[in-house]
């Protein structure tokens, strides 16, 4: 009998974290590696937010707080939801955790019974299926093809719903594709969900502020308030506020669900860091101008990466509206041979080849549930991106 629990065999380590680690290891071993795997902004946390953390330490805000967040942070979150999303939540409808990932974990652990199904539109953020599996549920991936800009269509959602469906997870702007759902597209999904009152919606709005051009952010509980009573609206400070290491995520939702999630957290990690919570109050209530400034840079990088990749033989890349990822197709490279005579049979082989031949670390599409693609994070300097795209071109030109 194994010492390790059976549930561990159901999941795999996060492939995106694995790629970043591999890039770090190769760099430490002296290889010239450009890491394009990380899902975090290269910008530093703004000083006003850091100062708020220092002030919290000096003030002695260094003790346990209420399990699912201080009233000050919950009030700031209520204000944010009202101001930016026109969503009304009271303090007892807000939960705060150590990152958005823990919010999802708490929600699924509190609700998913063995055999319950969780619909995850694919490509999906790598952690959704594995969190569902850890909680005893069954992830149900639904293909969202490139020709629909990687977005879930109402008819595909309808076809995926069964009596066992507990949740559908929506994510816009999307990791890994950068796709942004319009309000009209969410409305069409809402119409389907209204016909299936047993299905709850977890909307992961983590990349809300990272949108370029004319696309507008929308979130489903605001688009169709009839879903408000069964929607968990999740968000966090990690991406827009460059606070990945501070570990603060939050959500608004029905009070009984929020209470159940707090019960789980009270027996696992207790409150998120008191200092990070104080910093997050400043993030949400303080100046927001730097977000637009970062977005100008992100947009320039996106445009450069898309243009360069579309000149590479075997690749094709759409221009996404948000987040900081592109999800190019490598269909034209599949079946070709590397200079060493190895056939590139999958996107896994393709990213391995990029890393070995040119020291470029990207993430294979299979990790996100849709092949043959790969994900590049452009949350790194324009210089590194230019170099990486030049290397990718050289690698692809060398394929026979
Ligand atoms: C779509 C999505 N949701 C949630 C998270 C998790 O965010 P956090 O770092 O706050 O746990 C990430 C992080 O990569 C993400 O890409």
Q: What is the pLDDT of residues 158-177, one digit of tens each?
A: 999 999 999 999 999 999 99
Candidate of 236, 246, 272 to mutate for ligand 1, largest count of ligand atoms within 8 Å of Cβ: 236
Q: H or E element: which one contains 232?
A: strand 231-236
250 alpha carbon to ligand 1 midpoint, in Å? Answer: 11
Q: How many CB atoms lie within 10 A of CB 285?
A: 15
Question: pTM for the full model?
Answer: 0.96
Ligand 1, pocket-test mutation among 18, 239, 325, most atoms within 8 A of CB: 239
CA-nearest of 238, 273, 252 to 203 is 252
Q: Give the pLDDT of residue 1.
A: 65
CB of 367 within 8 A of CB of 27? no
359 close to 275: Cβ distance less than 8 angstroms = no
Query: What pLDDT, on a 0 to 100 scale, did the predictor assign at position 2?
Result: 85
Residues of the chain below pLDDT 70: 1
- The residue nearest atom 16 of ligand 1, judged by CA position, is 175
| Pick from 108, 141, 149, 146: nearest CA to 125 | 141
Ligand 1 within 6 A of CB of 99:
yes
The answer to whether the CB of 101 is under 6 A from ligand 1 is yes
**39 close to ligand 1 (CB < 6 Angstrom):** yes
Quote the pLDDT of residue 247.
Answer: 98
For a ligand 1 pocket test, name from 20, 38, 39, 169 the mutation site with the most ligand atoms within 8 angstroms of its C-beta.
39
Q: Which 3-state string (H, E, C) describes 55-85?
A: HHHHHCCCCCCCCCCCHHHHHHHHHHHHHHH
Q: Is 249 in the pocket of ligand 1 (CB under 6 A)?
A: yes
Cβ–Cβ under 8 Å, residues 77 and 252 = yes
Question: In ligand 1, which atom is closest to the CA atom of 238?
Answer: 10
pLDDT tens digit sequence for 340-360: 999 999 999 999 999 989 999
């Amino acid at each position: 009998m194994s010492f390790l629990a059976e549930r561990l065999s159901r999941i795999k380590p996060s492939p995106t974290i694995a790629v970043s680690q591999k890039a770090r290891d190769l760099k430490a071993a002296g290889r010239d590696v450009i890491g394009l795997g990380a899902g975090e902004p290269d910008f530093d946390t703004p000083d006003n937010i850091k100062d708020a953390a220092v002030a919290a330490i000096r003030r002695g805000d260094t003790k346990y707080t209420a399990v699912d967040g201080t009233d000050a942070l919950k009030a700031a979150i209520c204000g944010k939801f009202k101001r930016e999303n026109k969503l009304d939540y009271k303090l007892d409808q807000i939960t705060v955790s150590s990152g958005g990932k823990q919010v999802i974990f708490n929600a699924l652990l509190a609700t998913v019974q063995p055999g319950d199904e969780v619909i995850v539109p694919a490509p999906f953020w790598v952690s959704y299926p594995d969190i569902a599996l850890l909680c005893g549920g069954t992830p149900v991936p639904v293909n969202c093809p490139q020709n629909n800009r990687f977005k879930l269509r109402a008819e595909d959602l309808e076809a995926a719903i069964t009596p066992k469906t507990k949740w559908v997870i929506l994510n816009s702007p999307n990791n890994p594709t950068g796709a942004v759902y319009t309000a009209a597209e969410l409305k069409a999904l809402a119409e389907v969900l209204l016909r299936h009152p047993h299905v709850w919606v977890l909307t992961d709005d983590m990349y809300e502020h990272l949108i370029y051009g004319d696309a507008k952010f929308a979130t489903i509980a605001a688009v169709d308030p009839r879903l408000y009573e069964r929607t968990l609206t999740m968000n966090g400070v990690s991406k827009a506020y460059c606070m990945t290491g501070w570990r603060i995520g939050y959500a608004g939702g029905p009070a009984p669900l929020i209470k159940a999630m707090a019960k789980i957290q009270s027996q696992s990690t207790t409150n998120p860091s008191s200092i990070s919570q104080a910093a997050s109050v400043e993030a949400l209530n303080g100046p927001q101008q730097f977000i637009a400034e970062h977005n100008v840079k992100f947009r320039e990088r996106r445009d450069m990466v898309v243009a360069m990749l579309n000149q590479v033989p075997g690749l094709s890349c759409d221009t996404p509206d948000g987040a900081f990822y592109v999800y190019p197709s490598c269909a034209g490279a599949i079946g070709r041979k590397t200079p060493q005579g190895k056939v590139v049979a999958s996107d896994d082989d393709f990213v391995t080849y990029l890393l070995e031949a040119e020291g470029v670390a990207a993430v294979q599409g299979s990790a996100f549930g849709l092949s043959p693609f790969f994900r590049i994070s452009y949350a790194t300097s324009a210089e590194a991106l230019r170099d990486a795209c030049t290397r990718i071109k050289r690698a692809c030109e060398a394929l026979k």
